[in-house]
């Protein structure tokens, strides 16, 4: 089990296993992106969120490209201070090309609205992987790693002040720990670019747990979203 101080250290260290990034000055950007989108061992330093989104639409870095209907890059406001990172697209998201628009996403919007956080203006929403895994299975490590440059670009170019990690897959991918959500949820940890990161329950988990009793997942989520509102108010 990882203690909080070890987690903080892991968030502040440099990742040593990231692919080498291509230098956009060495050759044409289009040639570099073509290499990047077809080879998971190649990295890329995106210059804008639009460039990253356009590259994602062409991505063939893992096998998920073979079964997707749409690449699901993001929704929300790229100028917002809050970023929510989930696991990956489901069926509805694959059909529409937008993250968190199914039943879990509708619940997420209601949770945000309960503390006057507008899902269109106040948050930027994305996922660890941008293509739907077959049968909505959990993304495997190779798929998350192949998609990691897109997530890193979103974090570094959006530069949110508050990052919410919805569910175990997002926590493992971003924090590189396997501690249960029940231990990490509701706590702020220091993150890169001066941001803070908090693990929260995934809305799909809340849909499977109807109880609102004190101590239940929905009750705990209510405490966590109130803390997010307080943190956002402090920024403002």
> Residue 201: which CATH number?
3.40.470.10
Over residues 77-104, the mean pLDDT reads 97
Residues 6+ apart with CB under 8 A from 182: none
Asked whether residue 67 is domain-assigned, the answer is no
Asked whether residue 38 is domain-assigned, the answer is no
Q: How many domains does the chain have?
A: 1
Asked whether residue 183 is domain-assigned, the answer is yes
Q: Sheet containing 189-190: which strands, arranged edge to edge?
A: 75-76, 123-127, 82-86, 162-166, 196-200, 189-190
**pTM value?**
0.89
Asked whether residue 162 is domain-assigned, the answer is yes
70 DSSP 8-state letter: S
Asked whether residue 125 is domain-assigned, the answer is yes
Asked whether residue 41 is domain-assigned, the answer is no
Distance CA 2, CA 71 (A): 34
73: tokens are: 């890059």
Nearest CA-CA partner of 99 in 84, 113, 114 = 84
At 11-22, the pLDDT tens digits run 543 343 445 454
Spatial contact of 118 and 232, defined as CB atoms under 8 Å apart: no
At 43-81, the pLDDT tens digits run 999 999 999 999 999 999 999 999 999 999 999 999 999
Asked whether residue 55 is domain-assigned, the answer is no
At 163-219, the pLDDT tens digits run 999 999 999 999 999 899 999 999 999 999 999 999 999 999 999 999 999 999 999
Range of the domain at 109: 74-235
3: tokens are: 């203690």
Asked whether residue 132 is domain-assigned, the answer is yes
3-state secondary structure of 96: helix
């Amino acid at each position: 089990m990882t203690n909080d101080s070890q987690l903080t250290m892991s968030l502040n260290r440099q990742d040593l296993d990231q692919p080498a990034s291509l230098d956009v000055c060495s050759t044409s950007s289009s040639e570099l992106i073509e290499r990047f989108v077809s080879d998971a061992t190649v990295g890329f330093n995106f210059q804008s969120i639009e460039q990253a989104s356009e590259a994602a639409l062409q991505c063939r870095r893992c096998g998920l490209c073979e079964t997707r209907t749409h690449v699901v890059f993001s929704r929300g406001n790229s100028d917002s201070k809050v970023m929510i990172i989930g696991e990956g697209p489901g069926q509805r998201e694959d059909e529409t090309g937008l993250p968190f628009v199914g039943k879990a996403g509708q619940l997420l919007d209601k949770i945000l609205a309960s503390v006057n956080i507008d899902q269109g203006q106040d948050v930027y929403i994305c996922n660890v992987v941008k293509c739907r895994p077959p049968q909505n299975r959990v993304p495997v490590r190779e798929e998350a790693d192949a998609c990691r440059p897109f997530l890193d670009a979103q974090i570094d170019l959006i530069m949110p002040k508050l990052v919410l990690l919805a569910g175990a897959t997002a926590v493992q991918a971003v924090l590189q720990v396997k501690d249960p959500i029940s231990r990490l949820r509701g706590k702020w940890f220091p993150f890169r670019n001066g941001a803070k990161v908090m693990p929260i329950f995934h809305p799909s988990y809340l849909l499977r747990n109807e109880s609102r009793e004190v101590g239940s997942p929905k009750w705990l989520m209510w405490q966590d979203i109130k803390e997010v509102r307080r943190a956002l108010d402090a920024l403002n």
